[in-house]
């Protein structure tokens, strides 16, 4: 005897995968933490600024001073870092809204495909921003004697410390973005169960 989709037998329950809501909340939680990490990196680096008065020369007993300001805008790599992390933060915020709304924003099954593509793009952009900022941070900390570029972290220590914390937060966000992208791919490649009629002997 075969039962159609509308029929149920006693003790039979609808087959709802246990892992689906669990996996959805896991992905949503990781997105929220990644958003907090990249947003923190964006804010810390965007507000990173330090002004110091340095003695550049001495004439007799009179010191010649010069007031210098270190800002993230002075370095294109740090500007790109802020833009990349701001984009990653906005991306995760948008994906959180999409995840909450669920199927209401789906169009012919394209939601999971677009989410996976945008997640991968966010990883690529955040990775590029972190790499550029890390290179400049290393240059500011150690300098480059071959190119005769002097280090600045011995003079602007607070500026470099805040930049370092921004990099740490951003790398945490990048790691979570990579995990999110992998989870999105897994969810996209997971086959949908076929609706087959239940047969009872």
Mean pLDDT, the chain cut into blocks of 10 residues (201 residues total): 47 44 78 95 93 76 78 91 96 87 61 84 95 91 80 85 94 95 82 50 46
The domain tally of the chain equals 1
In a domain, 5, yes or no: no
In a domain, 3, yes or no: no
pTM above 0.85, yes or no: no
N-to-C CA span, the chain:
6
Supply the range of the domain harboring residue 169. Answer: 23-189
Q: Is the dihedral of CA 142, 143, 145, 147 positive or negative?
A: positive
Q: Give the Cβ contact number of residue 162 at 10 Å.
A: 18
In a domain, 142, yes or no: yes
Q: How far is 2 from 201, CA to CA, in rounded Å? A: 8
Yes or no: say if 187 and 23 are a contact pair by the CB < 8 Å rule. Answer: yes
In a domain, 42, yes or no: yes
Q: How far is 132 from 83, CA to CA, in rounded Å? A: 12
- Give pLDDT, residue 12: 45
- Give pLDDT, residue 183: 87
In a domain, 138, yes or no: yes
In a domain, 97, yes or no: yes
In a domain, 200, yes or no: no
Q: Which DSSP letter does residue 182 get?
A: H
In a domain, 198, yes or no: no
3-state secondary structure 77-108: HHHHHHHHHHHHHHHHHHHHHHHHHHHHHCCC
């Amino acid at each position: 005897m075969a039962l159609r989709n509308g029929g149920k037998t006693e003790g039979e329950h609808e087959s709802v995968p246990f892992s689906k809501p669990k996996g959805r909340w896991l992905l949503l939680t990781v997105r929220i933490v990644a958003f907090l990490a990249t947003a923190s990196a964006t804010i810390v680096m965007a507000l990173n600024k330090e002004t110091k008065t340095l003695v550049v020369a001495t004439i007799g007993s009179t010191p010649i001073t010069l007031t210098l300001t270190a800002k993230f805008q002075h370095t294109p790599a740090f500007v790109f870092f802020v833009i990349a992390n701001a984009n990653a933060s906005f991306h995760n915020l948008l994906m959180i809204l999409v995840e909450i709304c669920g199927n209401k924003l789906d169009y012919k099954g394209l939601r999971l495909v677009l989410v996976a593509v945008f997640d991968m793009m966010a990883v690529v952009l955040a990775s590029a921003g972190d790499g550029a900022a890390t290179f400049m941070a290393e240059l500011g900390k150690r300098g480059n004697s071959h190119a005769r570029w002097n280090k600045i972290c011995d003079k602007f220590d607070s500026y470099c410390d805040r930049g370092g914390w921004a990099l740490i937060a951003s790398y945490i966000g990048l790691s979570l973005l990579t995990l999110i992208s992998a989870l999105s791919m897994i969810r996209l490649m997971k086959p949908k169960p076929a609706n087959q009629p239940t047969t009872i002997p």
